[in-house]
């Protein structure tokens, strides 16, 4: 056997993207249901218009942390114990654009668990003792986080990226301290009791259960359509935050870009992959696998409701900061001046197709893919276009995309360490 030659590879299979059933709840709100699941698991995601953009960070974040901390008729411990009895668990995610609450349970327990969860969210009463407990917890977490170079860099990066807008607001310890119980109640009333803008269900529940869920959520659905800020422009330039005795320095480099509605989004995604979004990327090969300056370095395109940004992130040995920044600049200008070789381009294309296949494996993955286009009023046709674009894109286009969107002088370059 000749071990030196790679075995023949096959073309990566086609994906048929499946959209969930959409039940219209009102003009702008859908219940999405992926009912074909070959096992007993179920998940319900609830989306509320209760993100950071709608209030002071401390208020918004404390409210989301207190959603299951008691109602007039049920104490926090009882809510959690009831969910435990049903073997259910949940998590809560907070972003600028909204709050997502995911509930996980086996099919036989989901409806009951949902009733408990939804009731405690809608009727949250923000009891005094729970409020003080959350406040203390937030303050302590805040203090711990302020000792991390990655957090220091990320905070400053956020200020630079969202420069001049409400999104740039950062919380300080004093903000948690000065937040009042009533702030949470007012926020809750406005953005939870009348703020549900999407619900996504995965699981082989029966139709009756779906109907019951619809009736429960109906009074809490948002009535106006959402609109998002789309006029961001980052503040370019270098900025360093000193943290004494840090053995590593965190780096965040980026600029305002766009989300998947933009015509260049796919090309930019492919470019970002080449530069830093997989293990064999230019940055990983150079800065980790050749120089050993870091444990990891990567790029990403982050999307917001109306915009998005490009990001390069890493933590490097503090003595390697300068050299790393130079190498990053060098890799970017190489992409702007030299066409990507055909072997590398083919590799990246295969890698992306493999990733897409993986990302569409199973009903949960399908739902997540769907949700990530539905938020932008797009359909799964997006993914078919993506596959076509992966096949079609050439080295010349990638070089032009790098020239257009990766200008170093437009970047915010943040370091902390």
Partner 1 sequence: MIEFERYKLKNGLTVILHHDPTTPMAVVNTLYDVGARDENEQKTGFAHLFEHLMFGGSINVGDFDQELQKAGGESNAFTSNDLTNYYEIIPANNIETALWLESDRMLSLAFTEKSLEVQRNVVIEEFKQRYLNQPYGDVWLELRPLAYQKHPYKWATIGKDIAHIENAVMQDVKDFFNKYYCPANAILCISGSFDTTEIKALVEKYYGAIPGGLKPARLLPLEPEQKNFREKSIDRDVPADAFYYAFKMSERKNIGYYLGDFLSDAIGKDQSSLLNISLKKEKGLVSEINAFITGSHDHGLFLISGKLSDGVDFETLDSALWEKLNEIKDSGFTERKLNSLKNKLSTAKAFQEQGLLNRSISLSLFELLGDANGINEEIEIYNQIENNDILKFAQSILKKENCSLLKINKSK
Report 104-133 residues binding partner 1 (CB under 8 A). 104-106, 109, 129, 133
Residue 291's contacts (CB-CB under 8 Å, 6 or more residues apart) are 320, 323, 327
DSSP annotation string for 25-83: EETTEEEEEE---SSSEEEEEEEES--GGGS-HHHHHHHHHTTTSBBSS-BHHHHHHHH
251 contacts 415 by C-beta, under 8 angstroms: yes
- Is residue 135 within the footprint of partner 1 (CB under 8 A)? no
- Is residue 84 within the footprint of partner 1 (CB under 8 A)? yes
Strand ordering across the sheet containing 21-26: 21-26, 29-34, 196-202, 41-48, 99-106, 89-94
Q: Looking at 218-320, list the stretches that DSSP marks H as alpha helix, in order from N- to C-terminal side.
A: 265-276, 282-283
HSE at residue 149, side-chain half, CA atoms within 13 A, is 23
28/355 with CB nearer partner 1 = 355
- Is residue 391 within the footprint of partner 1 (CB under 8 A)? no
- The span of 19-27, 80-88, 210-218, 394-402 binding partner 1 (CB under 8 A) equals 80-88
- Is residue 93 within the footprint of partner 1 (CB under 8 A)? no
CA atoms 71, 77, 80, 85: torsion sign: negative
Q: Least distance to partner 1 from the beta carbon of 224, Å?
A: 34
15 contacts 360 by C-beta, under 8 angstroms: yes
DSSP type of residue 163 = T
- The span of 34-42, 54-62, 210-218, 384-392 binding partner 1 (CB under 8 A) equals 34-42
- Is residue 295 within the footprint of partner 1 (CB under 8 A)? yes
Indicate the angle between helix axes 128-145 and 57-65, nearest 10 degrees: 120
164/341 with CB nearer partner 1 = 341
Copy the structure tokens of residue 145: 């986080």
Q: Least distance to partner 1 from the beta carbon of 202, Å?
A: 11
152/411 with CB nearer partner 1 = 152
117/149 with CB nearer partner 1 = 149
- Is residue 3 within the footprint of partner 1 (CB under 8 A)? yes
3-state SS assignment for residue 234: coil
Chosen residue from 26, 73, 77, 385 binding partner 1 by CB under 8 A: 77
- Is residue 17 within the footprint of partner 1 (CB under 8 A)? no
Give the largest CA-CA distance in the chain: 74
96/288 with CB nearer partner 1 = 288
Q: Least distance to partner 1 from the beta carbon of 7, Å?
A: 4
Report 165-204 residues binding partner 1 (CB under 8 A). none
- The span of 216-224, 274-282, 305-313, 375-383 binding partner 1 (CB under 8 A) equals 274-282
- The span of 118-126, 260-268, 312-320, 332-340 binding partner 1 (CB under 8 A) equals 312-320
- Is residue 347 within the footprint of partner 1 (CB under 8 A)? yes
Q: Least distance to partner 1 from the beta carbon of 360, Å?
A: 8
- The span of 160-168, 186-194, 359-367, 386-394 binding partner 1 (CB under 8 A) equals 359-367
- Is residue 136 within the footprint of partner 1 (CB under 8 A)? yes
| CA-based nearest residue to 71, from 117, 128, 126 | 126
53/351 with CB nearer partner 1 = 351
Q: Least distance to partner 1 from the beta carbon of 346, Å?
A: 7
- Is residue 278 within the footprint of partner 1 (CB under 8 A)? yes
H, E, C per residue of 89-127: EEEEEECCCCEEEEEEEEHHHHHHHHHHHHHHHHCECCC
Report 228-257 residues binding partner 1 (CB under 8 A). 245-248
CA of residue 180 relative to chain centroid, distance: 29
- Is residue 361 within the footprint of partner 1 (CB under 8 A)? yes
- Is residue 1 within the footprint of partner 1 (CB under 8 A)? yes
- Is residue 12 within the footprint of partner 1 (CB under 8 A)? yes
CA atoms 168, 170, 176, 177: torsion sign: negative
Q: Least distance to partner 1 from the beta carbon of 384, Å?
A: 16
14/227 with CB nearer partner 1 = 14
- Is residue 317 within the footprint of partner 1 (CB under 8 A)? yes
Q: Least distance to partner 1 from the beta carbon of 165, Å?
A: 30
Copy the structure tokens of residue 26: 């009102």
- Is residue 21 within the footprint of partner 1 (CB under 8 A)? no
Cα–Cα distance measured from residue 169 to residue 181, given in angstroms and rounded to the nearest whole number: 21
How many residues comprise the chain?
Answer: 417
Burial of 8 (0-12, 13-18, 19+ CB in 10 A): exposed
């Amino acid at each position: 056997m000749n071990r030196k030659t790679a075995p023949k590879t096959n073309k990566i299979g086609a994906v048929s993207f499946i959209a969930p059933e959409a039940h219209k709840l009102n003009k702008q709100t859908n219940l999405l249901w992926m009912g074909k699941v070959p096992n007993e698991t179920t998940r319900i995601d609830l989306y509320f218009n209760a993100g950071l953009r709608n209030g002071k960070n401390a208020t918004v974040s404390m409210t989301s942390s207190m959603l299951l901390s008691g109602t007039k008729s049920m104490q926090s411990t009882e809510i959690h114990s009831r969910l435990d009895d049903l073997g259910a668990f949940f998590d809560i995610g907070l972003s600028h654009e909204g709050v997502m609450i995911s509930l996980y349970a086996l099919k036989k327990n989901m409806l009951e668990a949902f009733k408990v969860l939804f009731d405690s969210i809608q009727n949250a009463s923000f009891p005094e003792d729970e409020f003080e407990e959350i406040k203390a917890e937030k303050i302590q977490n805040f203090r711990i986080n302020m000792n991390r170079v990655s957090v220091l860099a990320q905070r400053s990066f956020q200020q630079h990226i969202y420069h001049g807008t409400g999104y740039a607001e950062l919380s300080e310890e004093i903000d948690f301290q000065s937040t009042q119980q009533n702030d949470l109640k007012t926020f809750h009333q406005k953005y939870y009791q009348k703020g549900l803008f999407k619900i996504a269900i995965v699981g082989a529940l029966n139709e009756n259960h779906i109907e019951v869920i619809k009736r429960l959520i109906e009074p809490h659905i948002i009535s106006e359509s959402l609109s998002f800020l789309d006029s961001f422009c980052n503040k370019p330039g270098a900025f360093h935050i000193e943290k004494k005795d840090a053995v590593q320095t965190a780096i965040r480099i980026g600029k305002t870009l766009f989300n998947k509605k933009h015509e260049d989004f796919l090309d930019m995604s492919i470019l970002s992959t080449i530069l830093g979004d997989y293990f064999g990327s230019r940055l990983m090969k150079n800065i980790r696998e050749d120089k050993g300056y870091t444990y990891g370095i990567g790029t990403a395109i982050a999307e917001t409701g109306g915009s998005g940004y490009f990001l390069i992130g890493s933590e490097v040995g503090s003595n390697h900061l300068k050299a790393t920044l130079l190498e990053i600049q060098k890799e970017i200008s190489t992409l702007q001046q030299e066409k990507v070789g055909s072997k590398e381009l083919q590799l990246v294309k295969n890698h992306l197709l493999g990733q897409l296949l993986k990302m569409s494996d199973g009903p949960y993955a399908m739902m997540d893919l769907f949700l990530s286009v539905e938020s932008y009023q797009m359909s799964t046709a997006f993914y078919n276009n993506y596959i076509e674009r992966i096949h079609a894109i050439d080295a010349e286009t990638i070089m032009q995309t790098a020239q257009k969107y990766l200008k170093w002088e437009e970047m915010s370059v943040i370091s902390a360490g």
